[in-house]
Structure 1
Amino acid sequence: MESSTVSAMKGDKLKDPPQWRNWLARVKLLARQKKVWDLINPQIEEDRLEQPMRKPRRPQYTEGGSESVKREWRDRLDIYKLDLAEWEQQAKGLDAVNEWIIINLDPIHHASLLDYETPYERLVYLETRFARSNAYEEDIRAQWKQFSSMPPRKGVDIDRWLADWNTLREQAVTLNLPEVKSANKDFLRAVKNVLPIWWQAKYESIIMNHEDWETRDLIENFRGFYHEVIPQEPDNTISEASFSTFQDFKEAESEAKEMEEDDQHILQKQEDKPFAKRRCPCGNPGHKAWLCYTINEAVRPQDWVVQKAKIQRVQKALKEDPQWKDWIEAKIKVYNEKQQKGQDKEPVANNALFPPPQVSLSAISTDNLSPVDI
C-alpha cells in the first residue's frame, strides 16, 4: 500500500494555478494515509476544524501512597501510554505532510511560507494563491464553448492555432469541465474545411465507427497531414470559404447520404465538364483526383484505411469514361515524378493505382481495407 500511494503522489512541483487541483489531491492522498486530513483540510473554516491532539502529560507518582492510589496511578499510566502513542502517530503524520508540502512546492514560493507553520495554515495560504475562482471556471467554460469548434481564421499560423486550442482544452480538463468530453468532435468541427480529406477519414473512424482517439494524438495526426498536403510558403491555395464556420455537425451524415444517392446523377453531369473541373471519382469534392488517397497510393498515409465502397465508386466512374481515367493516370504520373525530384527519393510512379503504361481496374490495392469492408 505504501509503495502504491507514493507512486500515485508523484508529479510536478506546485508552481502555477492550473496545477493546484491535482497537487492538492496528492496532498489529500498522503494526509488520508497518515489519518490527518480532517486536521488540515483547507476548505474547512478554522473554528470548525478538528483540532490536533495535545501531547499528554505523564501522571506523577506519589511516594508512600496507599495501594488504591498506586492502582489508580498504574491505570492512568496505561492510558497515558496509549494517548502518547496516538499523539506521536498524529504528530509524525502532520510532520510528514508538512515536509511533503515544502518538497513539492516550487522553490520560488518557499519564502512565502515563512509566516506559516502548520500544514493547515500553509494549505489555506496556498489555496488563496493558486485555487481558481468560480469566475475563472466560468470564463474557461465560456471560452471553450465559443472557440472549441470555431475554425482558424484565414492566414493564421496553423501550429500556433493548434497550440492555443490545446492549451484551452487542457485548462478545461484541469477544471473537470464536462463540456470538454466532446473535444474530439469539437476539433473535427473546427478543422472540417481546413483539410477536408483528413476530416472525412477521421469523421468516419471516430464518429461513424466509434474508434477511440486521444485528443492529443488526433491533433498531432492532423498537424502531420496538414504539413504534408498544404504548401508551407504563403499562398492562396486555401480559400476564405475553407475557413467558414461549421453550422451543423449532422450535416456531414446527410451530405454523405446525398452523395451516395445522387452518385449516378453527378457522374452524368460530370461528363459535360472538362476533366480539370470534375469532382474526384471517389465522390469527395474537397481534393483533386491525383491527390486522392483512394486513387494515388503514393500519397496515401500508411495508417489510412481504404473503403471498399469508394474503390467500387472509382472503378465504376472510370470504367464508364476511359479518357478520364487516362487523364487522371497522366496527372498522377506527373505529380508523383515532381514529388520524387523535390524530395530526392526513389521513383514511386509505379505505386499509382493506375500505373502506366497500361492501367487495369484490378490495380486498385485493397491492402489497407478494413476487415469490415473486405
Structure 2
Amino acid sequence: MSTPSLTPPQLWNRSSSLCSKQLSMSTSTDMNSVEPILLNGPSDWRKWIAQIQRLALEDGIWHLVDPSVADKSVLAKPCEPRASQVKPEAEGLEDLQGYETHKLEFLYSAYRVQKMDFDKKERALSALNNVVIGTSGRYSHLVSDQHDVVVNLAVLKARVPPSDWAIKMQARNRYRALLRTPDVSKMEDWIDAWQLALDEATSLDLPDIHGLLPTQDFLQAVSVIDPSFAAFWTQTIEFRAFENAEGWERSIPDGIRISEIFSRTAKFEALTPPALAADSGGHRM
C-alpha cells in the first residue's frame, strides 16, 4: 500500500523550534527525515539554499522565490468569471441563455482548477517561509517579522553568501587540510571527507585538482600509512608517463577511484594474515 502524499501545510506548517530540529521530505515515496541545515554563517549558505531549493522544487514554487533571479514570476490570483465575459450586457447568470450559460460554466471549471493551484502554491509559499525563518539561525532577526518568503530570501542573499573568491578559498583549504596524514583508526571517515572535499573542489574547477593531481595528492597522503600501495601507484604513473602513449592518463585511476581502491585494499589487508597481506602489496586494480 503506497504512502499517501502529504500536503505542504502538513510538511511545513510547524513552529520555528521544530524547524530547527528536523525537516521532512515532501515526496510520497521517500518520507525519511533529514537533518536541517541552519544558516549560521556564510559557509552554510550553499547547503542551506540548496535545502530551500529542494523543498520549493517539490511543490513547484522555486521559480517564484529563486533569489538569484531578478525578474521572477509572480503568483497571480485567478479572477472569478463574470457573466459579462460571455455577454457584455449581462449582469448575472439570469441574463444568459443556452450556450452562454454553458460557456460560463466552462469558464468556472477552468477557474476552479486555477484557484486550487493558486491556493496550493500560496500555502506552500507560506509554509516555505516558516522553514526559512526556522532555519535562518543567527540571521533570524532579519526575517522573523516578514511574511513574504521572496523578500526574506532576497534579504538573506544580500547579507549572507560569501564572495566567489571566498567560496573557492574555503573549498581549497578544506581539500588541502584533508591531505594531512590521516588517523588510521578513522580511515573510512577520512576517505569519505576527502572525496566530498574533492567533489566540491571539482565543482568549483579549482586548479589544485586538474588532471592527476588529486591522485598524486592522495598517494602522498597515504604513503606514511601504506608505503607499498603509494609506491606501486606512483611508479605506475611514472612508467606510463615515460611511455607517453596517447591518452595514458586515462589508464590511471582518478582521485575518487584511487581512494576507493585504497579503501578496499585496507579492508582486505585487515582480514588477511600478515604474510599474505605483505605479498599483495596493494597492487589490485
TM range (shorter): 0.5 to 0.7
Question: Which residue pairs with 2:8 in the alignment?
Answer: none
1:110 alignment counterpart: 140
1:22 equivalent among 19, 37, 47: 47
Question: What is the total number of aligned residue pairs between the two structures?
Answer: 211
Deviation (angstroms), 1:97 = 2.1
Quote the Cα distance in structure 2 between the aligned partners of 1:57 and 1:67.
20
What's the counterpart of residue 229 of structure 1? none
Following superposition, the deviation at residue 41 of structure 1 comes to 0.9
Structure (1 or 2) with the larger CA radius of gyration: 1
**CA–CA separation in structure 2 for the residues paired with 1:24 and 1:139:** 20
Question: Which amino acid letter does the alignment assign opposite residue 368 of structure 1?
Answer: A
Please state whether the residue corresponding to 1:110 is helix, strand or coil: helix
Partner of 2:244: none
Distance 2:128 2:172 in 1: 37
Cα distance change of structure 1 residues 8 and 66 upon mapping to structure 2, 3 Å threshold: same
The alignment's C-alpha RMSD in Å is 4.5
**Aligned match of 2:60:** 35
Q: What does residue 369 of structure 1 align with?
A: 278
Higher relative contact order (CA 8 A, sep 6+): 2
Taking the aligned partners of 1:149 and 1:86, their CA distance within structure 2 comes to 48
State how far apart, in whole Å, the 1-side matches of 2:121 and 2:282 are: 64
The equivalent residue for 1:177 is 204
5 Å matches for 1:1-374? 2-3=27-28, 7=32, 10-45=35-70, 48-57=71-80, 59=82, 62=92, 64-68=94-98, 70-106=101-137, 108-140=138-170, 174=200, 176-179=203-206, 181=209, 182-183=213-214, 185-186=216-217, 188-189=219-220, 197-198=224-225, 200-204=227-231, 207=234, 212-213=258-259, 303=270, 366-371=275-280
Q: Any conservation in 2 of the 1:149–1:186 contact (CA below 8 Å)?
A: no
Kindly provide the CA deviation profile for residues 13-37 of structure 1, in whole angstroms up to 9, marking residues without a partner as x: 2222222212222222221111111
Unpaired runs of at least 5, structure 2: 1-25, 84-90, 184-192, 237-252
- Length-normalised TM-score, structure 2: 0.55
Pair 1:197–1:75, CA change in 2 (3 A): closer
Asked if the contact 1:97/1:119 (under 8 Å) is kept, the reply is: yes
Secondary structure at 1:84 match in 2:
helix
Alpha carbons of 1:128 and 1:206: their partners in 2 closer, same or farther (altered >3 Å)?
Answer: farther
Instruction: Tell me how far 1:144 sits from its aligned partner.
Output: 7.5
TM-score, structure 1 as length reference = 0.44
Deviation at 1:86, TM superposition (A): 1.9
CA contact (8 A) 1:8 1:26 kept: no
Query: Measured at CA, do residues 12 and 140 of structure 1 come closer, stay the same or move farther in structure 2, by a change above 3 Å?
Result: closer
Distance 1:64 1:197 in 2: 90
Structure 2 partner of 1:246: none
Aligned residue for 1:117, secondary structure, equals coil
Of all paired residues, the percent bearing the same amino acid is 13
Q: Cα distance, 1:39 vs. partner?
A: 0.7
CA distance in 2, matches of 1:98, 1:52: 15
* Cα offsets for 1:169-215 (capped at 9, x unmatched): 977765633446555633554x68xxx7536245147656867437x
Cα 1:202–1:17 change in 2 (3 A) is farther
* Corresponding residue SS for 1:99: helix
Shift of 1:113: 0.2
